[in-house]
Structure 1
Amino acid sequence: MRNNQNNTLLTVPSGNLQIPEFPPQNVTTDKTNIYFSLIIPTYKERDNIAKVIKILCELIEEFISEDYELIVVDDDSPDRTWEVAQSMMAEYPNLRVMRRQQERGLSSAVIRGWQAARGSVLGVIDGDLQHPPEVLAQLLRGIAQGADLAVASRHIEGGGVSSWSAVRRFLSRGAQVLGLIFLPGVLGRVSDPMSGYFMVRRSCIAGVTLNPVGYKILLEVIGRGNVGEIAEVGYVFCERQEGESKVTWKQYIEYLHHLLRLRLTTKQVGQKSSFPIGRFLRFGLVGLSGVFVDMAILYLLSDPTTLALPLTRSKIIAGEIAVFNNFLWNDAWTFADVSQRQQEWHHRLKRFLKFNLVCLAGLGINVLVLNLVFNFVIPNRYIANLVAIAVATVWNFWVNLKLSWRVTDVK
């Protein structure tokens, strides 16, 4: 590599978090416009940053030669991560470094990096090796094939997490369900809306004032940007080898804050997609078959002329058998296009458990809506029950569509 004579730090942009339509012109370089700019936000990553820079430069150059830049945006780490990165600029001429001393936060660090970037494609990757660098080539390929946004996902084929606890998995899924309720037009477009590993065309977010909270900048990009086609690539999220994790309860609170802010401040959130009427009708017919199964089993178990079991016990058994019936039909018919791609027993078991949980939540919604409608709107228990069933059915269908059987508008 040629020597880089300019080892100065980048000036930190100020003002609104808005990406310019064209790269900034006041850069001290012989090349203003490049293809790809990758931001590496860091805080206390001294033990990782040198390895990350070396790996990323080697991988990217294999795919797009020298037409790229890496920008390390460090939040003034006390371990002087920025200084380690700066010392490598002579060896890696495509490397640039920004030291932020007045601002903090991963999302704003990424946007400040994008503001200083020269690429027509803008990306972000963690600086701790939890995002496997080799996936970058697949993301770049997705953009090259016409996608506006390419996302590394833990929730499609080839994706996963290496060693998360059951609690962390539950919190991650719960956060996604909440997002589907608040912002179905955003979270429904990708299988892993919590991903912090993606790239997007500059033109899709140029001129838009971004206003992120916490870590989940992808929500902001999809919610406020003009994103058309999306590509997804599976990846396995790895536990960090060096340094300390920065995931705390504060990040979950910030995520909820972000959802509310997006919901309240955007008139059009994401792209509207047509409601899958055909799939919903099949889901409804399967649900109707479950009613007959429930009634038949309840009769066989509780009727005095048959087994004469206690009513509550009979209802629980009948209800679970009906849920199992519905799952089998939905897996084989309603969502057959998804289940055929994941036919292993552990995949089916996971879908069944999710389906059970969604239906249980739907039962709670059914009871809540029944009481609200009966007590405050229509004092007729049967009409109120029909309204409650309709609401619970839509809930069960929509959340199962986005959580149990993942159907996303991705390439």
Structure 2
Amino acid sequence: MSIIQPNSLLPVPTGSLQILESSAATTNANTEPILFSLIIPTYKEAGNIQKIVSRLSNLLDESIPGKYELIVVDDDSPDGTWNIAQSLMTEYPQLRVMRRQSERGLSSAVIRGWQAASGSILGVIDADLQHPPHVLLQLLQAIEEGADLAVASRHIEGGGVSSWSFVRRLLSRGAQLLGLLILPGVLSRVSDPMSGYFMFRRHCIVGKTLNPVGYKILLETIGRGNVGKIAEVGYVFCERKEGESKVTWKQYVDYIHHLIRLRLSTGRLSKFSQISQQFPIDRFLRFGLVGLSGVFVDMTVLYLLSDPTTLGFPLTRSKIIAGEVAILNNFLWNDIWTFADVSSQQREWRQRLKRFLKFNMICLAGLVLNVLVLNLVFNFVIPNRYVANLIAIAVATVWNFWVNLKLSWRVTQVK
């Protein structure tokens, strides 16, 4: 195994994006076996690179001294990020630096770093300090306790985002919903599939040829790897202090392209067993009971508004009002019972209003799905309107629950 000389750059791997059993590219001067290799992809991060290297080194020197490596993979930044990182190698002996001049892209940069890494545990973290370094220790602990993959999530207890615009939140929710529809067997396994902060056991992707599009490397890891147990750790996504954001519209287009490519190449949609393992039956039963109460509320309000012996309002107007009252009933019960563990973390009226609006929109989509399934079943499968309606209700109920679970009741906004 060769030894990296001080201040020398790592050679850039070439060929297919495939992770080998082990790499002979890196080790430390004392031939201490590397346990953990953390990749830091960079582009124009001159203002952050010293800070992130210092914080990570201090943290890991205390927890796994001499058994880790930090690999900065820079896409030939015009601000000289790679040069600054290289100058830090004397002070931080666990630091390696790779300068890519013929390739571009965050996902491929991460994989090239993994190819050059020696650790049995591989990870990735952003260089902009939006990923709090201390969460690494919790992720490492999850791996040590048996997880194949440990993901830092913004959408479980202890997680959130400090300050996102409404448009960015809307785009994030829409992207996840689209992902659940296209690739449920992958996106349903984690609460934050858009996360770029995670680690996993090397053997999960050994021999797999990765083929990412855009910057969502976690999707590629789960979709193509042999990932068993997954653990999640909550973290707060912080605001950038230095440099500029890399999020653009093109990355959302790349994300959709990536989903479709994974769907066509992995066939995960047919593996319902993975979905069932992730399906929270107890919460679904509570959701179903709440939905049943909504039926009684709907019928009662419809009677009070439309019956000639009461108010005698027109039927259509009465049904719209009754339906909305039932939705409000269902939301309140779900908020204080079905998803109480999540809503208790976000008690402000604005947060509750956002959840209600999302719940309303999802239920509206569920109504459209209900009508479509009713007609399809009645016209092509079972020519019995009542049986077809029961099937349509069941499908719409699962839809409403699953999408609300993933998008409406989750921790996303913290101070």
- Answering whether residue 377 of structure 2 is matched by residue 401 of structure 1, we say no
TM-score by length of 2: 0.88
Give deviations 1:172-227, integer Å, cap 9, x for gaps.
01111111222222211211111001111112221111111111111111122122
1:123 maps to 123
* Structure-1 separation of matches of 2:250 and 2:20: 31
Classify 1:289/1:358 alpha carbon distance in 2 versus 1 (closer, same or farther; 3 Å). same
* Structure-1 separation of matches of 2:391 and 2:378: 10
Instruction: Choose 200-209 or 325-334, whichever is displaced more.
Output: 325-334
Instruction: Choose 128-137 or 319-328, whichever is displaced more.
Output: 319-328
* Structure-1 separation of matches of 2:178 and 2:83: 40
Does the aligned pair in 1 maintain the 2:143–2:149 contact within 8 Å? Answer: yes
1:184 maps to 184
Classify 1:226/1:240 alpha carbon distance in 2 versus 1 (closer, same or farther; 3 Å). same
Alignment of 1:118-197 (within 5 A): 118-197=118-197
Alpha-carbon offset, residue 31 of structure 1: 2.3
Does the aligned pair in 2 maintain the 1:23–1:33 contact within 8 Å? Answer: no
3-state secondary structure, aligned to 1:33: coil
- Answering whether residue 260 of structure 2 is matched by residue 260 of structure 1, we say yes
Classify 1:223/1:32 alpha carbon distance in 2 versus 1 (closer, same or farther; 3 Å). farther
Alpha-carbon offset, residue 46 of structure 1: 1.3
Alpha-carbon offset, residue 340 of structure 1: 8.2
Alpha-carbon offset, residue 114 of structure 1: 0.4
* Structure-2 separation of matches of 1:340 and 1:27: 47
Give deviations 1:42-76, integer Å, cap 9, x for gaps.
11111211121112111111211121111000111
TM-score by length of 1: 0.89
Instruction: Choose 366-375 or 171-180, whichever is displaced more.
Output: 366-375
1:223 maps to 223
Classify 1:80/1:266 alpha carbon distance in 2 versus 1 (closer, same or farther; 3 Å). same
Instruction: Choose 274-283 or 59-68, whichever is displaced more.
Output: 274-283
Classify 1:12/1:356 alpha carbon distance in 2 versus 1 (closer, same or farther; 3 Å). same
Alignment of 1:169-318 (within 5 A): 169-268=169-268, 271-274=274-277, 275-276=279-280, 279-318=283-322
Classify 1:243/1:282 alpha carbon distance in 2 versus 1 (closer, same or farther; 3 Å). closer
1:10 maps to 10
Does the aligned pair in 2 maintain the 1:32–1:118 contact within 8 Å? Answer: no
2:110 maps to 110
Does the aligned pair in 2 maintain the 1:10–1:97 contact within 8 Å? Answer: yes
Does the aligned pair in 1 maintain the 2:189–2:275 contact within 8 Å? Answer: no
Classify 1:319/1:265 alpha carbon distance in 2 versus 1 (closer, same or farther; 3 Å). same
Alpha-carbon offset, residue 30 of structure 1: 4.7
Classify 1:404/1:107 alpha carbon distance in 2 versus 1 (closer, same or farther; 3 Å). same
Does the aligned pair in 1 maintain the 2:21–2:206 contact within 8 Å? Answer: yes
Classify 1:245/1:342 alpha carbon distance in 2 versus 1 (closer, same or farther; 3 Å). closer
* Structure-2 separation of matches of 1:194 and 1:350: 21
3-state secondary structure, aligned to 1:172: helix
Give deviations 1:75-129, integer Å, cap 9, x for gaps.
1112221111111111111111101111111011000000000111111011111
Classify 1:62/1:352 alpha carbon distance in 2 versus 1 (closer, same or farther; 3 Å). same
Alignment of 1:328-367 (within 5 A): 328-331=332-335, 334-335=338-339, 338=341, 342=345, 344=347, 350-367=354-371
1:33 maps to 33
* Structure 2 residues not aligned, in runs of 5+: none
* Structure-1 separation of matches of 2:287 and 2:238: 37
Classify 1:342/1:54 alpha carbon distance in 2 versus 1 (closer, same or farther; 3 Å). closer
Give deviations 1:146-181, integer Å, cap 9, x for gaps.
222111111112211111100100110111111122
Instruction: Choose 382-391 or 182-191, whichever is displaced more.
Output: 382-391
Identity of aligned residues (%): 76
Does the aligned pair in 2 maintain the 1:342–1:348 contact within 8 Å? Answer: no
Give deviations 1:261-292, integer Å, cap 9, x for gaps.
11111134684534555654554343233222
2:83 maps to 83
* Structure-1 separation of matches of 2:334 and 2:224: 34
Does the aligned pair in 1 maintain the 2:184–2:275 contact within 8 Å? Answer: no
Alpha-carbon offset, residue 402 of structure 1: 3.0
Question: Which amino acid in the other structure matches residue 162 of structure 1?
Answer: S
3-state secondary structure, aligned to 1:369: helix
* Structure 1 residues not aligned, in runs of 5+: none
Classify 1:218/1:60 alpha carbon distance in 2 versus 1 (closer, same or farther; 3 Å). same
1:319 maps to 323
Question: Which amino acid in the other structure matches residue 187 of structure 2?
Answer: L
* Structure-1 separation of matches of 2:317 and 2:339: 31
